[in-house]
């Protein structure tokens, strides 16, 4: 129930209109408990990603899915298709579904399913959090690991146990709050380079997140608490391009690797095929991925994975006043590849990597 502020504190909260109570993390977890199947999926997903970052799993990590999730029904259909494809390409690709519930905004705009699930400025955040946890359970119960972005330090208490990978976005990589939070997360965390395309801020963030911290947060009951972390050894770099140039090319990747090594960090890099690397043209994501595959074919050891923005339908759409006019399965934020193009691209990547793998086996046989 929304509570208006008492007049006695109005002077201290002159610009705060009301306080809407939220269920605590432990209450939401009780309402939507972690199933055995979901737990197995998360454990397997995190282990596969850690193994890739440690060099024990040679497969290419592929984090793929909608720019943002606004329709759980369409999202579940996408997940079922991706789950089937994951089995077919599992020899060379480790597929993880991108599921972003919160969207950072330069100025204004829809901020995501958690913040405004009705897409009508009603901001029913408690309902949004419930929808988000329900959706994550559904996807994990399919046996498909999930990746998301941590945009605020409170949401992970509600959702983190269901995530296999987390991103810290270009706008928040410099934030001390997000670095501290990441140091305590149980899954690998990818820090994106800044919007200017430079990598040093992200390198500093990775270094910070790999160390222990103590900071203010909330505990599972929702009470304010001091959280003490051990540091996250699986923090790594995501190259997403800059405002005026991409940084997925071999020279940029090599320079980023040198910056990581200079800081004493593991040379693990994920290439975001969208955003600045595609000049914000979703159709160019395939060009970026093919370049990455070429780098891998030439022996690159630092690229651990890629990110793709993809949904059922190609492109994007503005949010209409009449929500019944929304196109099913089409992004309401950044433009995405449609499913047909996504499937073809991932099958192409699988075939390319498989051919390289078989060629290497042949060379080893000849030299034996």
Q: Where are the domains of the chain?
A: 22-50+64-367
DSSP-derived secondary structure for 225-293: EEEE----TTEEEEE---SS----SHHHHHHHHHHHHHTT----EEEESSGGGGTT-GGGHHHHHHHHH
Compare 284 and 9 and report the one with higher pLDDT. Answer: 284
Q: At residue 305, does pLDDT exceed 70? A: yes
Under 8 Å between Cβ of 277 and 246: yes
pLDDT tens track for 186-238: 999 999 999 999 999 999 999 999 999 999 999 999 999 999 999 999 999 99
pLDDT given at position 15: 85
Residues with Cβ within 8 Å of residue 28, at least 6 apart in sequence: 129, 130, 133, 158
Task: Please determine, for residue 67, whether its predicted confidence score (pLDDT) is greater than 60.
Answer: yes
Digit-coded pLDDT (tens) for 163-182? 999 999 999 999 999 999 99
Q: Does residue 365 have a pLDDT over 90?
A: no
Tell me the per-residue pLDDT of 320-344, one tens digit each, with 9 for 90 and over.
999 999 999 999 999 999 999 999 9
User: CB atoms < 10 A from the CB of 134, how many?
Assistant: 13
Calculate what percentage of the chain has a pLDDT beyond 90. Answer: 88
Give the residue among 50, 63, 58, 18 at the shortest CA–CA distance from 306: 63
Checking if the pLDDT of 94 tops 60, the result is: yes
Residue 363 pLDDT grade (very low, low, confident, very high; cuts 50, 70, 90)? confident
Residues 264-276 have a mean pLDDT of 98
Distance CA 147, CA 56 (A): 21
Q: CB count, 10 Å around CB of 1?
A: 4
Encode 71-88: b = buried (16+ Cβ within 10 Å), e = exposed: bbebbebbbeebeebbee
Residues 183, 180: Cα–Cα separation, whole Å: 5
Query: Is the C-alpha dihedral spanning 69, 71, 72, 75 positive or negative?
Result: negative
Name the nearest CA neighbour of 166 among 201, 141, 191: 191
**What confidence category does residue 358 fall into, taking pLDDT thresholds of 50, 70 and 90?**
confident
- Work out the average pLDDT over 336-362: 95
* Eight-state DSSP code of residue 199: S
Q: What are phi and psi of 363, to 5 degrees?
A: -65, -40
Provide the pLDDT for residue 103.
Answer: 78
The pLDDT confidence band at residue 108, using thresholds 50, 70 and 90, is: low
What is the percent of the chain where pLDDT is above 70? 96
Q: 22-50+64-367, superfamily in CATH?
A: Aldolase class I (3.20.20.70)
60: pLDDT strictly greater than 70: yes
User: What pLDDT score does 248 carry?
Assistant: 98
Region 119-135: mean pLDDT is 97
Kindly report the average pLDDT of the chain as a whole number: 95
């Amino acid at each position: 129930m929304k509570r208006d502020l008492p007049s006695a504190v109005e002077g201290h909260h002159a610009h705060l209109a009301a306080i809407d109570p939220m269920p605590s993390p432990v209450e939401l977890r009780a309402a939507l408990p972690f199933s055995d199947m979901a737990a197995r999926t998360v454990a397997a997903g995190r282990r596969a990603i850690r193994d890739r970052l440690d060099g024990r799993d040679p497969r290419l990590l592929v984090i793929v899915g909608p720019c943002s999730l606004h329709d759980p029904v369409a999202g579940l259909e996408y997940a079922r298709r991706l789950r089937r494809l994951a089995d077919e390409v599992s020899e060379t690709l480790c597929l993880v579904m991108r599921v972003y519930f919160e969207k950072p905004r330069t100025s204004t705009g829809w901020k995501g399913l958690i913040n405004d699930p009705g897409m009508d400025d009603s901001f029913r955040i408690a309902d949004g959090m419930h929808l988000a946890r329900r959706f994550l359970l559904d996807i994990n119960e399919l046996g498909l690991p999930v990746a998301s972005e941590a945009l605020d330090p409170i949401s992970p208490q509600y959702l983190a146990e269901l995530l296999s990978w987390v991103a810290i976005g270009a706008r928040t990589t410099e934030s001390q709050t997000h670095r501290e939070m990441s140091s305590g997360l149980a899954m690998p965390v990818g820090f994106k380079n800044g919007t200017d395309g430079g990598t040093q801020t992200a390198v500093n963030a990775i270094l910070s997140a790999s160390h222990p911290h103590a900071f203010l947060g909330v505990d599972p009951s929702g009470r304010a608490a001091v959280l003490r972390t051990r540091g996250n050894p699986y923090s790594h770099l995501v190259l997403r391009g800059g405002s005026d140039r991409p940084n997925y090319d071999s020279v940029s990747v090599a320079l980023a690797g040198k910056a990581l090594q200079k800081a004493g960090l593991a040379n693990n890099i994920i290439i975001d095929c969208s955003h600045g690397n595609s000049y914000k043209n979703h159709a160019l994501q395939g060009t970026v991925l093919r370049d990455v595959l070429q780098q891998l074919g030439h022996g690159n050891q630092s690229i651990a994975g890629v990110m793709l923005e993809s949904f059922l339908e190609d492109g994007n759409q503005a949010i209409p006043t009449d929500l019944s006019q929304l196109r099913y399965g089409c992004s309401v934020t950044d433009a995405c590849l449609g499913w047909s193009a996504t499937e073809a691209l991932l099958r192409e990547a699988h075939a390319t990597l498989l051919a390289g793998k078989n060629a290497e086996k042949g060379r080893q046989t000849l030299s034996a």
